[in-house]
């Protein structure tokens, strides 16, 4: 999982969903798990 300052580009990828867990913003992509990321 990558840690990024901005998740805007990853939100646009097909299959992406933005999730909030434990106060963190995560991007999870079932189609392409290499785009899994956390903000901050």
CA dist., res. 13 & res. 23, Å (int): 23
Which helix (H) or strand (E) is 29 found in, with range? strand 24-29
What total of structural domains would you count in the chain? 1
Give the integer Cα–Cα distance in Å for 33 and 13. 11
How far apart, in Å, do the first and last CA atoms of the chain sit? Answer: 12
Q: How confident is the model over 6-21, as pLDDT tens digits?
A: 999 999 999 999 999 9
**How large a percentage of the chain has pLDDT more than 90?**
98
Note down the domain range covering 23: 2-39
Which one-letter DSSP state was computed for residue 39?
A: E
**Rounded distance, CA 30 to CA 40, Å?**
22
Say what the pLDDT of residue 35 is. 95
Q: How confident is the model at residue 22 (pLDDT cuts 50, 70, 90)?
A: very high
């Amino acid at each position: 999982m990558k840690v990024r300052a901005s998740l805007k580009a990853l939100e646009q990828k097909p299959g992406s969903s933005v999730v909030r867990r434990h106060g963190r913003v995560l991007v999870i992509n079932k189609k392409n798990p290499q785009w899994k990321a956390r903000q901050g």
